[in-house]
Structure 1
Amino acid sequence: MAAHLLSWSSPLRTFGSTMSSMVAGRSNSTLATDAAAYQRAASANQRPRVFSRRRVPNRQKFIEDQKTQGESRILEKYQTRDWRAGDIYTPHDLSAAEMKKWRKRYSPATDAFDSLNMNPLDLYKTSFGRPVLLPPGVSPLISHLMPKANDLLMRFKANKSIFLRSIDDPAIARQYTEHKAHTTVARFSPSGFYVASGDVTGLVRVWDCVGEGHTKGEYSIVNGRINDLAWDGDSQRIIAVGDGKQRYGHCITWDSGNTVGEIYGHTQQINSVSIRQQRPLRAAAAGDDKNLVFYHGAPFKFNTGIRDKHTNYIYGVGFSPDGSTLVSVGADRRIWLYDGKTGEPRGQIGEGEHKGSIFSVSWSKDSRKFVTASADKTVKVWDVEAGKVSQTWYIGGEGSTDVNDQQVGVVWPPGRSDNLLISLSLGGNLNYLAEGTPEPRQVIQGHQKNITSLTQSHHGSDNGTLWTGSFDGRVCSWDVPTGTAAEVDGESHSAYIAGLAPMQEGNGRIYSVAWDDTIRSMDVGTKTYTGSSSKLSGQPKGIAAAAAVLVGTSESVEIYKDGQKIGDFKSKFPITTVAAHGNTAAIGGDDSTVQICEISGATLIPKTDIKASRNPVSALAFSPNGSLLAVGDSRGRVLVYNVADATLVTDRWTAHTSRITSIAWNENGTHVVSGALDTNIFVWNLANPGEWLQATNAHKEGVNGVAWVSGSKIASAGADAAVKLWKVEGLE
């Protein structure tokens, strides 16, 4: 067994998305409740009602063990996903027969809309800006504010994570990663202790957001995507709605999943739901059928349906904080107000003010105003009593024609004294807005898609800037001390960023290649694209910059100088990756060969071939002085060779279980960090190859880039669209 030389601390910062990965589990208090339920059942000689394929633990043995071994050991021993307090289990783990039994017990026998087989999503595949049905690649949606006022909850549709971010310091963030499918919505409970989140499979998960992020419950609501959900004022009940085949929504208690109401009255998918926070409890839901349905509770039951107020899809509904008023907005650009207790329509306001669909609405804490976000690229504050607009922000400038400036989400954070509003642009920017100020106070930028490349500036003293590229062609620079990001200005790539490389000569340039088959350069100081792009001969596999800029394609290595192609080198094997240091280049091949070449003007001169392994080479990195070369392959191995004589230094670094995507050396050349598709990051010790440090599940869905920021800090980026900064302790 290898001893661990190093130890990870918690991630220092997570830029754009998250601060640390959490491990899902159940709290000791929950387990204690479960154990108590089991003990009561055993003493009464009753069998708990559990719908499960697995056998229930022996009751008598459980009691005996509890007496002899202590509660903590027993709780650990009997921690399973098959039973919980109340003996009601969610159906996502059940067999088909058990699922049928569960539905028969907890769901209505018939559904008036079972015969509706049309999927309304088919009608909107070319639409933009839908608040819950965004086109692929539009990831974050503002959801709700924690009562603590400084934590903003966002969800990322492009992956399977939920992110909690601080409003005042967005670099401070947390990540929930227990969803197995793409997430669609998330909401804080009014108490601020829990978050409920939904995904495309119809599963709602409730988890602790103030502790370690343990999952408290998982419940199957509809057999389709969850579009929205809402908590009641007691933080006890949840209504979740979406696009199901048997039903479009359901109401449950968060701790047990018991049914506490039926959501019916709609003939198409439901887009939005809201619950009145005062008693008597009321709820409202609206969707693609242009129908707003009012419910009385609890348990929640159909009261009335209002069909004649909106002429197009309804995108948002919301009760005011004092419960007196309900508002609805939609694609018809209309805003309707209703009595919050009876549901009686009060009237329409603001006709003709918005020039595009209204996607989102949020109330001020005093219930006197609300704010709307629209496809016309504006955010408007409305005075409820006057029925008029009190302020308008033109995001991107008045007259903007950029579709990314469409406003698809907005929230008015409660509990803040600065009256801050936050809106979300279709392009993913978060706009901090303050009443009385015509321009956004701050714009938070970042990635919405899989981050595919990561590098660091080497220009002068600018070692505190990271550069990242993502699947959609966006490139961002990140200030390490503050964690703020800025998208590179100018004409950008239009597809997957295949590589980023800084010039080692210190001319202040970062070069990028993408699957639009172009190479571009960026100025480090101004953070803008410079000059025009150059067309590549094929799809790029990687890029490296030293005495020249080398771009590897499947057939050759193209050589560039000052943005212009000056030559190429035909390889004898399919190229997978390239690296360079000074006048030396390394070319990795699909046949597991690494070819060492000398960079000589407009060509490469082959020097040595290294047969690194029996697997394709996937990553290469020279040590800071260029004497050593680290080689990663598609099976998760990392090997180190002397460049001068091609001798093997170590081949013991084999702990990864899938393709190595990135390798980086520390400034002293004594340690190597590697990232792989297995989601893990390893730090390796060159002096003691048998000693390493592992950060498991560093990035959900895989690590795509690593960089050594300083002596004890490592940056990483991955498929979860997050950039994380780690501190490594105990380097020797």
Structure 2
Amino acid sequence: MMSIVSEAIWAASPTTTRGQPTPLSSDPKGERVAYASNKSIFLRNIDNPAISKQYTAHTSQTSVARFSPSGYYVASGDVSGTVRVWDCVGEGATKGEYHIISGRINDIAWDGDSQRIIAVGDGKERFGHCITADSGNSVGEISGHSSQINSVSIRQQRPLRAVTGSDDTSLVFYHGAPFKFNTNLRGQHSRFVFGTAFSPDGNVFGSVGADKKIWLFDGKTGEQKTAIGDGVHTGSIFGISWSKDSKQFVTASADQTVRIWDAEAGKAVQTWRMGEEGVVSIPDQQMGVVWPSGRSDGLVISVDLEGNLNYLIPGSQKPTQVVRGHQKNVTAAAISDSTFFTGSFEGRIRAWDISTGLADKVDGDGHSNYVAGLTATSAKGEPQVYSVGWDDSLRSISVPTKTFTGSSTSLKFQPKCVTTTSGTVLIVAPESIELYNDGESVGSFPVKYTPTTIAASGSTVAVGGDDKLVHIYTLSGTTLKDASTELRRATSPISALAFSANGERLAVGAANGKIYAFEAGGEWKLITDRWSAHTARITSLAWDESAEAAASGSLDTNVMVWSVKDPGKRIKALNAHKDGVTGVAWAGVGKVVSTGGDAAVKVWKVSGL
């Protein structure tokens, strides 16, 4: 029996917004971190970030996720004002879906019994609400603010207390349960309040914000105690998180630093500054921080504006690890031996190590816009990847050093797709196929149809068109010659092409979800036209090494694997990537990697071929 099962999820990075906090949460054991990314929530193993769970039940952009103190549930919010409570230990079943406000949920807090939740954000008639996690019943009200609430924290002991911080520069202190307004704390902060947090022992809570100030208050009475660190942070403070012994807390700031503070002494005891020394770097702004309890190594995790997770161990000067990925939908992918390259909507390229499941950044000057295509080659000795982007440029990447090489080649057109064969790079332009060698233009081949996609093997070049045909050409040196062969089977525009490694087979994908397989060369005999189960555009195709099986990805969110021997049989991974699959590749025998609209990479084990 053929089967396809999920082997790993290599998570997307947290979604970040400049000038807005990015919440991070950790489970009580300090094993996993939770965060929002696009329309998903990822629960990521801290010690092995290549292991993660993905929750996909939200239908709009997610904004926050918080583990319950029991460790059994997560409450997560989205920009539509919906909070979902779900099981994070078993299958991820949703326990409850509650509509809280008519706008973005900015933060969520649990009480110590894992029974009550307060969710806050940017509403119209109210800025938050208190509910029971299992039924959504009201257990108090959030009031006293005049603009959006950015953060909330609940005291984990009785008597129950809660605090919220808002754009109106004030904090509101609540007594509970049921939670009700007790006092409005004004005059401490002079700008937006971004973070609030009770110490684990409940004795104090701290608040931070855009005025770069840190305030501590009495956890039972809400009385102001002390302001600390005046003038230390030089940018907005976006996050605050306490150590499990309640003696220290950590802050994250737009000034590119993460600092540990001694609460009693009111002094910073450790500072990490990200980025190059003395250089102001917006991507290195620290947007959020969590100090996971239940660990023995004292690890702190911060997130920067690029969504990178920085692992910070007290006593060390630099992050011990930086966990990277994509924040925006992946638009192109290519595999080179054991490295999977992915390019995304805003121009970021990542190199994933298939053996570890971790992503590296590609060093050097990359693309500043949509990555339209990636293609791998070893024609010039060392393995290389070529990339084209909607900054209208062609780049080359050295695979061993993960670095952009040479200079950027400016294209005079918007590229649609790229392939390479025997050292020549072929790019699909709006009305022609453009040929490049070592970054120099070596030829242009105008066509009478609108080309959509391209693939090449040896001297054979296949070009798909929106005329529903696959046009075959021969590459001789740097000239394309029309082989006067057209493959006529598809009933809608051609959207994907792939030759097998031995060059003997060609897979053709169409915009209506149908796939056709041909023998490459000679009479171009049709092998099968029965590979039709996708319901939307085929975006990517890949043959396995034996050329007996092919994998496909489609905008219908599914990954499928097909057999040449038994064309009617297919195996599918449904909802593989929310918002569509954009890349598939084989990473050795029986292993498929895929990527797509959720900005994540998935690994699939395929057996029984």
TM-score above 0.5: yes
Aligned partner of residue 12 in structure 1, secondary structure: strand
Q: Work out the CA distance in 2 between the residues paired with 1:708 and 1:277.
A: 49
Q: Is the 8 A contact 1:275 1:284 kept in 2?
A: yes
Query: Is 1:177–2:67 an aligned residue pair?
Result: no
Q: Is the 8 A contact 1:274 1:285 kept in 2?
A: yes
Aligned partner of residue 540 in structure 1, secondary structure: coil
Q: Work out the CA distance in 2 between the residues paired with 1:522 and 1:643.
A: 29
Alignment of 1:350-429 (within 5 A): 350-429=229-308
Among 400, 418, 424, the residue aligned to 1:543: 418
Among 502, 509, 514, the residue aligned to 1:632: 509
- Gaps of at least 5 residues in structure 2 are none
Alignment of 1:293-372 (within 5 A): 293-372=172-251
| Match of residue 452 from structure 2 | 576
Query: Is 1:8–2:39 an aligned residue pair?
Result: no
| Match of residue 498 from structure 1 | 372
> Cα offset for 1:507?
3.3
Among 148, 162, 187, the residue aligned to 2:29: 148
| Match of residue 60 from structure 1 | none
Aligned partner of residue 143 in structure 2, secondary structure: coil
For 1:520, give the aligned amino acid.
R
Q: Work out the CA distance in 2 between the residues paired with 1:363 and 1:669.
A: 55
Write out per-residue CA displacement over residues 544-592 of structure 1, whole angstroms, 9 at most, x where no aligned residue: 0112110101111111111211111111100100101111111110111
For 1:372, give the aligned amino acid.
T
Higher helix share: 1
For 1:16, give the aligned amino acid.
A
| Match of residue 245 from structure 1 | 124
Q: Is the 8 A contact 1:17 1:174 kept in 2?
A: no
CA RMSD of aligned residues (A): 1.2
Q: Work out the CA distance in 1 between the residues paired with 2:475 and 2:320.
A: 49
Aligned partner of residue 212 in structure 1, secondary structure: coil
| Match of residue 476 from structure 1 | 350
Larger Rg: 1
Among 160, 164, 170, the residue aligned to 1:291: 170
> Cα offset for 1:391?
0.7
| Match of residue 86 from structure 2 | 207
| Match of residue 394 from structure 2 | 519
For 1:149, give the aligned amino acid.
G
Among 533, 554, 561, the residue aligned to 2:437: 561
| Match of residue 111 from structure 2 | 232
For 2:492, give the aligned amino acid.
N
Q: Is the 8 A contact 2:147 2:167 kept in 1?
A: yes
Q: Is the 8 A contact 2:11 2:42 kept in 1?
A: no
Aligned partner of residue 419 in structure 2, secondary structure: strand
Alignment length (residue pairs): 603
Query: Is 1:219–2:98 an aligned residue pair?
Result: yes
> Cα offset for 1:485?
0.8
> Cα offset for 1:419?
0.4
| Match of residue 680 from structure 1 | 558
Write out per-residue CA displacement over residues 49-72 of structure 1, whole angstroms, 9 at most, x where no aligned residue: xxxxxxxxxxxxxxxxxxxxxxxx
For 1:636, give the aligned amino acid.
G
Q: Work out the CA distance in 2 between the residues paired with 1:663 and 1:345.
A: 62
Q: Work out the CA distance in 2 between the residues paired with 1:127 and 1:668.
A: 45
Write out per-residue CA displacement over residues 624-682 of structure 1, whole angstroms, 9 at most, x where no aligned residue: 22122110000000001222212221101110000000000000100010000001111
Write out per-residue CA displacement over residues 322-355 of structure 1, whole angstroms, 9 at most, x where no aligned residue: 0001100000001101000000000111000000
Q: Is the 8 A contact 1:199 1:225 kept in 2?
A: yes
| Match of residue 310 from structure 2 | 431
Q: Is the 8 A contact 2:339 2:353 kept in 1?
A: yes
For 2:476, give the aligned amino acid.
S
- Gaps of at least 5 residues in structure 1 are 19-125, 132-140, 458-462
- In 2 relative to 1, CA 298–187 (structure 1 residues): closer, same or farther, beyond 3 Å? same
More divergent stretch after superposition (531-540 vs 417-426): 531-540
Q: Is the 8 A contact 2:17 2:305 kept in 1?
A: no
Query: Is 1:267–2:157 an aligned residue pair?
Result: no
Higher strand share: 2
- The TM-score with structure 2 as length reference comes to 0.98
Alignment of 1:62-141 (within 5 A): 128-131=18-21, 141=22
Moved over 4 A (4+): none
More divergent stretch after superposition (147-156 vs 367-376): 147-156
Identity of aligned residues (%): 57
Q: Is the 8 A contact 1:465 1:477 kept in 2?
A: yes
Q: Work out the CA distance in 2 between the residues paired with 1:402 and 1:559.
A: 37
More divergent stretch after superposition (529-538 vs 262-271): 529-538
| Match of residue 656 from structure 1 | 534
Q: Is the 8 A contact 1:467 1:475 kept in 2?
A: yes
For 1:700, give the aligned amino acid.
K
Write out per-residue CA displacement over residues 517-537 of structure 1, whole angstroms, 9 at most, x where no aligned residue: 100000111100011111223
Q: Work out the CA distance in 2 between the residues paired with 1:127 and 1:581.
A: 43
Alignment of 1:693-732 (within 5 A): 693-731=571-609
Q: Work out the CA distance in 2 between the residues paired with 1:601 and 1:537.
A: 23
- The TM-score with structure 1 as length reference comes to 0.81
Among 584, 593, 603, the residue aligned to 2:469: 593
